[in-house]
Structure 1
């Protein structure tokens, strides 16, 4: 059964002055690098002082990844083509190469100052080609790709597509469960229709479901929302690598791009904290996220989830590990959604159960039924105090996936030479905002996903 990619509405888009930056960033001589507004908002250099994703493998299940692109040389492993056409690095669509560049692109030229740079430039990319056109995915094939990625040691799996057939009893769902059981962080987008309903596979239990924000750091109008949204990340007017274009680059908007940035953030955390489980990595992403000045009444929010990613905070904030299964674990005889995002201890639900059993037994021996009632009341208070305020990351609702529109060529500049940019051109400060004001994205936010 075929399905559609949760891709990007791609094209050449004019950059605006909507960014809430401290001031215009220093201009470079590279046209493509100057269009990467996310670099300044997230402050890549500050993040890289903590982690660059070294030693981590991110599987990109997509249209393949062209490892010959100058911004990806040396980053792309052999991978697997589950479509049967042959080569996982033969990307005739460009989408997979684009996602890989946002995750692990290293740029090129002098001091790597040209081209696209990813958020985790030292992570490795394991390409899984599951589509040739971006629309001809098959559930059994991408499921095979996910299992291959797990068996090859992938730490993070990026799924920038939607699959209406990936219901809980499908092969795709079984493959996702296989990945989660083997301690892999799996990330997918919510959908590009601007409607209520998170798409599959992002909707499946344990998945990190990602929505997109624009340059004003507001939820993108086409980003699907509703129960099940986990995080939000930049996904509008995103410059990325694309060897199907004459310039080698394209620009687009969609939850696909946001998904790639969340996958990259997970790679950064896994590199710095190799002892954390996949669930505990997700816990750091959630606990460090921000709502900025949004007046969020309930967490997770149906648009932002637990908030917008803050990679630097995810790497540096003092966040207890939390339960091994993480905040997105589903209720079962051995786990509970109560040990989710807001849990600040390392005790598991089973440990709480042991305490309950021990205390109950002691009271029954000492004081009979009356004493048992008292202690059970105390236990109830203890357990209640350990509960988190969030709910599971999965949710209900579905949406209709949309096709990408292709990636029109960038200006015919080639890989190496780009038009010079006037000094301090960058992204102007919005009218009425003082250049001295701090970047709200990097501030301690008034609301956090905790």
Structure 2
């Protein structure tokens, strides 16, 4: 888009096909995300971008110093604009608008450049910060393709879930038949990408645990690193941002709903559209393509307060009223307090005996060495090499640029739609116009 014409702002608005298929004017009559904070755990967010002015909170930089309101890479700003962009110019008719233009963005910078590694301990700390600073939705537009989330990340997500926060993450951009973590973790809304024809993007990961699909192909978004401050991309990062925005819309309109009930509403209002014969959850489309307007207007019972997607077990003592897995295991084995005490005493006694025997052996070894026994191999010193420390576990590196392998900026050729607007094709018993 660097070669966009001079009327770039209008051009940008015209490229936002998502605004049309989601009928945003009707949607915004129901909710615009007022009063909801969405945390964007990413490369920072440019608070000075004209489409985000006034929307970006102070946030925090977790990369060792710096300003979370600065974005060297541009990815975080793009995600924030899809969530809460409000456009600019007369009537805000130019630039990018997000689905929840009145939500606030909490920028949490966990990487600065495309070469940085987005470590679990770093983004995990950012997730906890988001929870403690009022975020009701957390957007994780990245994936650890082929790797597993370490304890820092898992427990941070568990902490968020225990504190009534909706966590949304991208399924991955490498075409795997498995959903990448952290999206694959229990309770996380795992998001895949579809194009303007409501067909799954070829590189969007599939598999068990996929929750929702959202637009993620030919997406224009704010980007301070490009001229004129906009870029074009494909990926589940963008789709994740749209689902986070949909969650913010629901949380704004239904503030009494728990995070689990918000997720339930998003799932129940989703649709497979023209894809007939699929059964939810489907390995390629999850529970369907997100429909924000329907999520706001359909008559959906609250349902249970818990997360319908499950939850990560929290073992952090910081969680109020949480029970550690170790305690639960003790309960299931039927140990009584007295039994545990008896067992403890027995273990202490056994350790004492072992210590005495060890002392005698060491003393004997020393005497034997002094008497020349070491020369005939009875207790050679080489039999007791210095203890080797286990090397730290090697973590799978994160992609150099989260969920943005196709984050180039040339204008994509126009696609011929298979249907005038497939997003209006609904199965029976659902809103026929959204």
TM-score (norm 1): 0.71
- The structure that is helix-richer by fraction is 2
Match of 1:339 in 2: none
Q: How far apart in 2 are the matches of 1:307 and 1:278?
A: 19
Match of 2:427 in 1: 445
Matched, 1:148 2:147: no
How far the C-alpha of 1:400 sits from its partner, in A, is 9.1
SS of the equivalent of 2:144 reads coil
Higher-Rg structure is: 2
SS of the equivalent of 1:210 reads strand
Structure-2 change in CA distance of 1:194 and 1:179 (3 Å): same
Structure-2 change in CA distance of 1:168 and 1:239 (3 Å): closer
Match of 1:376 in 2: none
Q: How far apart in 2 are the matches of 1:428 and 1:331?
A: 41
Match of 2:236 in 1: 255
Q: How far apart in 2 are the matches of 1:284 and 1:89?
A: 32
SS of the equivalent of 2:423 reads coil
Match of 1:96 in 2: 76
Query: Contact 1:192 / 1:402 at 8 angstroms: preserved in 2?
Result: no
Q: How far apart in 1 are the matches of 2:237 and 2:94?
A: 23
- Candidates 262, 273, 283, aligned match of 1:281: 262
Structure-2 change in CA distance of 1:399 and 1:316 (3 Å): farther
Match of 1:203 in 2: 184
How far the C-alpha of 1:58 sits from its partner, in A, is 0.1
Unaligned runs of 5+ in 2: 314-395
Query: Contact 2:43 / 2:74 at 8 angstroms: preserved in 1?
Result: yes
TM-score (norm 2): 0.73
Q: How far apart in 2 are the matches of 1:201 and 1:263?
A: 15
Query: Contact 1:193 / 1:401 at 8 angstroms: preserved in 2?
Result: no
How far the C-alpha of 1:169 sits from its partner, in A, is 5.3
How far the C-alpha of 1:237 sits from its partner, in A, is 0.5
Structure-2 change in CA distance of 1:162 and 1:320 (3 Å): same
Structure-2 change in CA distance of 1:407 and 1:192 (3 Å): closer
Which string of whole-angstrom CA distances, capped at 9 and with x for unpartnered residues, describes residues 228-265 of structure 1?
10000000010000001121010000000000000000
Which string of whole-angstrom CA distances, capped at 9 and with x for unpartnered residues, describes residues 137-156 of structure 1?
11111100000000001000
Detail structure 1 runs of 4+ shifted over 4 Å in the superposition: 11-14, 398-403, 405-411, 427-431
Matched, 1:84 2:82: no
Match of 1:59 in 2: 39
Matched, 1:37 2:21: no
Unaligned runs of 5+ in 1: 1-10, 15-26, 333-397, 412-426
Which string of whole-angstrom CA distances, capped at 9 and with x for unpartnered residues, describes residues 88-120 of structure 1?
011000000000000000000000000000000
- Candidates 160, 166, 189, aligned match of 1:185: 166
Cα RMSD (Å): 2.9
How far the C-alpha of 1:408 sits from its partner, in A, is 4.8
Q: How far apart in 2 are the matches of 1:121 and 1:401?
A: 29
Structure-2 change in CA distance of 1:329 and 1:217 (3 Å): same
Query: Contact 1:237 / 1:251 at 8 angstroms: preserved in 2?
Result: yes
SS of the equivalent of 1:172 reads helix
How far the C-alpha of 1:440 sits from its partner, in A, is 4.0
Query: Contact 1:245 / 1:408 at 8 angstroms: preserved in 2?
Result: no
